[in-house]
Amino acid sequence: MKLFTGFVFCSLVLGGEGFFSFLSEAYEGAKDMWRACSNMREAKYIGADKYFHAQGNNEAAQRGPGGEWAAKVIR
């Protein structure tokens, strides 16, 4: 119930377009983080995990507020 109330509040504050752009930025940011994780597993290089995590965080944060939120939640 709290999640639904939060969505309603955000949609009222941000407006319909702002809320949906936030969600799309968050989704794209999560995809960036997933891609960085996949690249890390594919590389199989010991000790490079910090590089790939930083790369994923950076790419997600450049998406906007939704991407920054996704990067904070996923890290």
Residue 4 resides in a domain: no
Return the structure tokens found at 53.
């995590």
CA atoms within 13 A on the CB side of 40: 17
CATH number, residue 30: 1.10.132.110
Residue 6 resides in a domain: no
- The predicted-structure confidence for 9-49, as pLDDT tens digits, reads as follows 666 666 656 677 888 888 888 888 999 888 888 988 888 88
Residue 34 resides in a domain: yes
Residue 36 resides in a domain: yes
Residue 67 resides in a domain: yes
Residue 8 resides in a domain: no
Letter string b/e over residues 50-68, b meaning 16 or more CB atoms within 10 A of that residue's CB:
eebbebbbebbbebbebbb
Number of domains in the chain: 1
Return the structure tokens found at 74.
């996923």
Q: Which residue has the higher pLDDT, 37 or 8?
A: 37
Residue 42 resides in a domain: yes
Containing structural domain, residue 31: 21-74
